[in-house]
Structure 1
Amino acid sequence: MRNDPSVIDLVERARDGDATAWDALVDRYAPLVWAICRRYGLNGADAEDVAASVWLRLVERLGTIREPAALPGWLATTVRHECLAQLRTRRRHLLVGDEAGLDTVDEPAFEELLVTQERHVAVRAAFENLPEHCRRLLSLLFGDPPTPYTEISSSTGTPVGAIGPTRRRCLDKLRSDPALVTVAGAERT
């Protein structure tokens, strides 16, 4: 976990009741909340409900967060849990409120969606744990469209001949992240 002084400062000021710090936290991490909601297939009112629940939980627990620098991880985990709860609620409402829709509920597809979403969240978390140079290199290599090696070399200072081996080392680090190891292990069982 990296200690981000600005996050630590914002959390501590928000704990002390600084509305400006709270607004800055929301502004800074709202895109994370919305991105995770989108990964779970939530938008509109469902995503707004999740976001409201997450911010409410943060208000309730802001004083108990021991490591302020861990706030982004705490938020990502909380959003994930709230998205799963929202999906379960949506499914229950469909099952109870729309009997005509019972024929269209595909339990395996729903479970597959949840597994896929969990995998996406794990990959994003593992990517965030990579060193900065790996994140930058992989972002350039796997962008749409991919950046040519000559441009990558000039923007990162990595010799063209070292880009491939560096990419391999970065991907090996990504694959060995505990979050991905756990997801991969769960898929094999």
Structure 2
Amino acid sequence: MDLVNELSPLLAAEAAAEAFAAGVDPADLEQAVWVRLLEQTPAEPRRWVRAAVRAEARRARRQARRELPYAVEPSAGPDVRPEQFLLTAERRRVVRAAVRRTPGRCPQVLTAMLSPADPTYREIAGELGMSQGSLGPVRSRCLGCLRRMLTSEVAAPGRWGKER
């Protein structure tokens, strides 16, 4: 237990530093290192944690390069496998959750844009009580914010941490 208390701050800091470039959540990186720690007893735990975090980040980057996103989202249908349906539902859930976390008027603007009714700019502007001319710039800023939030959650990063 003393080892866990001693290594927790170091592991959290190392995972936070490496996670963005690897395109993974820092908590996932931490969890992977804790599992590795359970499998072995290192002689120098602090040095081992640093090396293990970097190794897990490299593994995550390699995995992201191998996993290719769908060209077209699989949808519900008779020939769609359950795992495809589940992945699509999970991706939509992550996007909707990120939309709710965006700042200012962005949640309302993005929710209106993502509506299955596919409203026009005029309809969205009327619903939100804003001018139609200001909707485009607001939408652009909101999408930029959403894109930054989703980089590590949905989009598979390319080589060296760049988006595709």
TM-score, length-scaled by structure 2: 0.38
Bigger helix fraction: 1
